[in-house]
Amino acid sequence: MHSQPSNLSRRQFGGIAVATAALSSLLPSRASGEESKNAIQAPKGMLQTQWGDYTITSLLDGVIPMKRELFSGRDKEVDSILEQIGQSGGTLPSPISAFLLTSAKHNILIDSGFGALDMFGPGFGNVLNGLYAAGLTPEKIDKVIITHAHPDHIGGMLSKDGNVVFPNAELIIAEKEAQFWNSKAMMEKAPDSAKGVFQLAQKVLGTYKNQMNQVASGKEVAPGIQLDLSPGHTPGHSILTIDGGDKPLKMIADTLHNCELHTALPDIAFAFDLDPKQAVAARIKLFDQLSADKALVLGSHVHFPGYGRILKVNNAYRFITATI
């Protein structure tokens, strides 16, 4: 029998409710891909690169112009940074990306975007189009790795009529993440305005129950791909290490939601972090590791196509867009 998180307060759950309400009033915008010297030509909204045994295809699901109010703490410094980078107009563009990894033996999807969910109007749900453009159909995906069960990561798992989109895929998710969202006790503790997030997660996990593989932290979930917990954003929020031969690539999922803000001020809170203190601690720990290694990172909400490095300069972190 597994224990469930018991120290989550109603106030913390309320953060999800507030964030959902804030996001629901936003209109989506569009973003375009960037070029890489190693890029394989592909349609707008996707980009392919080679990493170890895998061809990685970045798939842009859409872009949310998030409200400034979703970030809290050190407000004067936040506003100063936004002014410096020309984003002081009230909204901050946040791309939503999924990633396709193909090899001689596997077709692996990391997260699935919003899919058919109609949460923020048109402009989202483009992951499937990206798969088709890459020459694949959903039936050819043999593994889907879910970093965490928020709507912009699992919405694409179900069709508009609620059916399985990836019928031949093993759904891989951290055990703690699946346990949390399937917990009746946790759902009852959440305010009514946040229960929809639980309901969607439960629907997805229930629909894929015969295909689901709940894994522990530190497990290799596919050849050369390791899943590790980095909790706080959600209890089972996961990051992935993708082997590139002489060096790894770190897929950091939702460790940050705005590259410039969360690297300059890693201790500020984000409204969708279920446990903000834990999320901050996990973020700083990971940033320390990444900056020391000068590691290449891949992120769900990093400037498309999702690559960069987090470096430490004069005791401050800095995000640098990178290509491979």
DSSP state for residue 158 in the 8-state scheme: B
DSSP state for residue 119 in the 8-state scheme: S
Spatial distance between the Cα atoms of 238 and 228, rounded to a whole number of angstroms: 6
Structure tokens at 59: 């798939």
Least-confidence region, from 34-48, 213-227, 232-246:
34-48
What mean pLDDT is reported for the chain? 87
Spatial distance between the Cα atoms of 121 and 123, rounded to a whole number of angstroms: 7
pLDDT band at 57 (very low <50, low <70, confident <90, very high): very high
pLDDT band at 38 (very low <50, low <70, confident <90, very high): very low
Spatial distance between the Cα atoms of 324 and 308, rounded to a whole number of angstroms: 9
The confidence score (pLDDT) of residue 43 equals 43
Spatial distance between the Cα atoms of 50 and 250, rounded to a whole number of angstroms: 15
Q: Is the pLDDT of residue 274 over 60?
A: yes
pLDDT > 70 fraction of the chain, expressed in percent and rounded: 85
pLDDT band at 63 (very low <50, low <70, confident <90, very high): very high
Q: Is the pLDDT of residue 142 over 60?
A: yes
Structural domains of the chain, ranges and CATH numbers in brackets: 10-321 (3.60.15.10)
- Greatest Cα-to-Cα distance within the chain, rounded to the nearest angstrom: 53
The confidence score (pLDDT) of residue 24 equals 46
* AA letter at 191: P
Length of the chain, in residues: 324
